[in-house]
A = this chain, B = another copy of it.
Amino acid sequence: MSNASTDAGADLVRDLVDANHILYHQGIVDAFGHVSVRHDRDAGRFLLARNMAPARVQAGDILEYDVGSGEAIAPNPPRLYLERTIHSEIYKARSDVMAVVHNHSPAVLPFCIARGARLRPVCHMAGFLGGTGHDGPALFEIRDHAGLASDLLIRNRELGAALARTLGRSRVVLMRGHGCTVVADSLPVAVFRAVYTEVNAQLLLRSLPLGEVEYLSAGEADATRVTNEGQAARPWDLWREQARRSRHDDHAQ
Contact = CB atoms under 8 A, between A and B. Distances in A.
B113 A239 contact: no
A109 B124 contact: no
B220 A177 contact: yes
Interface stretch (A86-94, A165-173, A223-231): A223-231
Given A227-B151, A245-B250, A110 B220 contact: no
A178 interface: yes
B150 A223 contact: yes
Interface stretch (A6-14, A37-45, A202-210): A202-210
A117 B51 CA distance: 37
Interface in A235-253: 235, 237-239, 241-242, 245, 248-251
A152 B206 contact: no
A72 to B, nearest CB: 18
Given A104-B125, A208-B210, A251-B245, A203 B151 contact: no
A59 interface: no
B251 A248 contact: yes
A1 interface: no
Nearest to A245: B250
Interface residues of A, number: 71
Contact of A151 (B52, B104, B206, B224): B224
Number of chain copies forming the complex: 4
Contacts of A226: 151
A144 interface: no
Contact of A114 (B150, B151, B210, B235): B210
A206 to B, nearest CB: 5
Given A114-B207, A212-B114, A238-B53, A219 B148 contact: yes
A241 B252 CA distance: 10
B110 A203 contact: yes
A237 B203 CA distance: 31
Given A206-B110, A209-B209, A245-B250, A152 B224 contact: yes
Contacts of A114: 207-208, 210-214
A213 B113 CA distance: 6
17 contacts: A32-B234, A51-B234, A56-B238, A104-B123, A113-B203, A113-B207, A114-B214, A124-B177, A149-B223, A151-B224, A151-B228, A153-B227, A176-B214, A209-B209, A242-B250, A245-B251, A249-B249
